[in-house]
Structure 1
């Protein structure tokens, strides 16, 4: 069955591969980016593609894009919150302006788009909200204070959103990719280095930036395979609430889960002795 997919960040990186996978499967795609022409350039002209310009940090623009999607295709069945960027750095070297910009794009941006699309899905009594977070959305990492904060926030929102929308036939899925060969680490395009400098961090910052730069183009994950996997997941009658993408993240999540269990067990008696006396 042909569904209508609404994909943000569809002009480059993972969004392009996902849009291609959806189109190849016979679905109709609304692909958005800040410049719609770049979506068309990346995907080509296609009768089942509607390219839209959208800044996801603009709530009014998100509402207009949702309206245009319904006007063209009549519905929105799958929303993929994919657009995002990476403000890297140690916490003290990330300016307040950069930290807030990270949250605006990676957290409030998906909220804007989802807020615009959910009325359409509720009216249909069906839909699927897929939000791309990251391994950094479940495992804190060095040099990722702002990025991880934005992705952890997304996960908390998505875990709670499922309860809001389940009664209306709407599914939710969190997707946690590891290192895929996308453009996330392209300097200036998606990666923004810290604008502050503190002597204590200077050497570590220089070394870490060099390490991140060296990983660009060397990531082991194939975004085309992830795109195909998400099309498969969206077709499931009961899609997963969380999808861990990449062997590196599978191992990391298993380790994190064991850490949590170990930490609970280490202080179980103390943790459990918090009740009021005679309560």
Structure 2
């Protein structure tokens, strides 16, 4: 693993005006890299003016595919190439699955899944032509499993991860790497800015129980720690397809995996009995 890159590289980061995205962009700039920083509302003032010659800010709604294509083209035109693409833009909607309206459900997927998809489609022609590049998909602890009130958020992250696993295999032939990053808790405004569904009365007791659990408090980390991990990730000559950030999410990943494996094993006879190869129906006499 390299400790520092051989030469300055160019990043394209979505959701770069705040939270993890801003921390990623700042870390890249501090080490001398070039950054195309995209967000719904962003200006040069979001960053230290010492880096003004190496930062391009792009006001971008990632759900607008045409705008995404134009933004990526602007970044390549400004810096000449792309090296690292970080799909960080995301929103969180809280509510029981039954409570979501169609508009609310679609909105969650539009940003977290389709926004990342459009960025990948815009960046890939440039990365393929270079035979190099690294796409980093920022998922979540909710990409490990579904939890009460995070059903649609988890749905969007599960979809992002499934798409990204396929993308990794497709892009590998062109020297392009893909990593899914699953962060734990960081002090960002994801929770304070999230939308909530209109609550249904029958779920009141469950909400009260969840409130009691959350009242016990949690300790999140500074986004700069995630940014330090990001630099190690993109500096690796052999980056992993998945990276967990934080002890809590690390332990949870293993707990969930063990639980799933135990259930699969307990139902193994039923699973195996459900398969017995036969000729295609039209070939059966």
> Which runs of structure 2 are paired with 1:167-186 in the superposition (5 Å)?
167-186=173-192
Residues of 2 paired with 1:254 and 1:277: CA distance? 34
The residue aligned with 1:236 is 236
What is the CA deviation profile of residues 174-216 of structure 1, one whole-angstrom value per residue up to 9, with x for unaligned ones? 0001111111111xx3x1011x33220235446757976996x
**Counterpart-to-counterpart distance in 2, 1:86 and 1:140:** 13
Could you tell me how far 1:228 is from its partner in structure 2?
1.2
C-alpha separation in 2, matches of 1:210 and 1:278: 54
Rounded to whole Å, the distance in 2 between the matches of 1:263 and 1:206 is 29
Q: Which moved more, 1:204-213 or 1:3-12?
A: 204-213
1:201 lines up with 2:203 in the alignment: yes
| Unmatched segments (≥5 aa) in structure 1 | none
Q: Tell me the CA shift for residue 28 of structure 1.
A: 0.6
Residues 113-192 of structure 1 aligned to structure 2 (within 5 Å): 113-186=119-192, 189=193, 191-192=194-195
8 Å Cα contact 1:89/1:205 also seen in 2? no
Matched, 1:9 2:36: no
- After superposition, the Cα gap between the structure-2 partners of 1:168 and 1:148, relative to the gap in structure 1 and judged at 3 Å, is same
Residues 2 and 27, structure 1, Cα contact 8 Å, conserved in 2 = yes
Query: CA offset at residue 10 of structure 1?
Result: 0.4
TM-score (norm 2): 0.90
The 2-side partners of 1:6 and 1:212 are apart by 35
- Say yes or no: does 1:222 pair with 2:210: no
**Number of aligned residue pairs:** 271
C-alpha root-mean-square deviation of aligned residues, in Å?
Answer: 1.9
Closer/same/farther in 2, CA of residues 159 and 132 from structure 1, 3 Å limit: same
Q: CA deviation at 1:233?
A: 0.7
Match of 1:95 in 2: 101
User: Retained in 1: the 8 A contact 2:12–2:86?
Assistant: yes
Indicate if the aligned counterparts of 2:131 and 2:175 stay in contact, CA closer than 8 A. yes
- Structure exhibiting the larger radius of gyration computed from Cα positions: 2
Does residue 72 (structure 1) correspond to residue 78 (structure 2)? The answer is: yes
Instruction: Name the residue aligned to 2:270.
Output: 270
Partners of 1:193 and 1:209 lie apart in 2 by 15
Q: Is the 8 A contact 1:175 1:243 kept in 2?
A: yes
